[in-house]
Amino acid sequence: MTAPQLPNTADELRGAGLRVTAARVALLETVRAGDHLAADAIATGVRDRLGHISLQAVYEALHSLTAAGLVRRIEPPGSAARFEGRVGDNHHHLVCRSCGAVVDVDCAVGHAPCLTASDDRGFSIDEAEVIYWGLCPGCSTQRLTSAP
């Protein structure tokens, strides 16, 4: 018995109701291979794969992929929007105040939405977004070694 094949990028786009284009395939693969990339870094990655693509086309494709649930957009306050391929779970993020590094961290406690609102005001809550702020290990070490 053979193992079932995982869907390829084109199949995922079709399954999400999106037209399959070389740009969308390259963009989705770039996001998934990256680590919380900003749009300009994604554009560079797509250009490395395909050649020219406008930043506007990257933004439009990111919007479509985000709306389809294939990409997640995060926007820590004071930072440009970042995009990631980890979707379908309610994970959170660690953000370094110094260098801006963003790292995934699993749900705070329990199952999604991970937190219970003190007053849901009638909402049916299905997701919670948490950002933990601090210094990454590299910036913490650098700060300690550069202290007088």
Rounded CA-CA distance 54/116 in Å is: 42
pTM of the model: 0.79
Long-range interactions of 10-14: CB distance < 8 A, separation 24+: 12/70, 13/68, 13/70
Range of the domain at 72: 1-88
Quote the CA–CA distance of 102 and 136 in Å, as a whole number. Answer: 9
Our count of domains for the chain comes to 2
Ordered per-residue pLDDT tens for the chain, 148 residues: 555 554 699 999 999 999 999 999 999 999 999 989 999 999 999 999 999 999 999 999 999 999 999 999 999 888 889 999 999 887 888 999 998 889 998 876 655 556 777 788 888 887 778 888 999 999 988 777 776 6
136 is known to lie in a ligand binding site: yes
Regarding whether 102 and 78 lie in a shared domain, the answer is: no
According to the annotation, is 114 in a ligand binding site?
no
Q: Is 43 found in the same domain as 114?
A: no
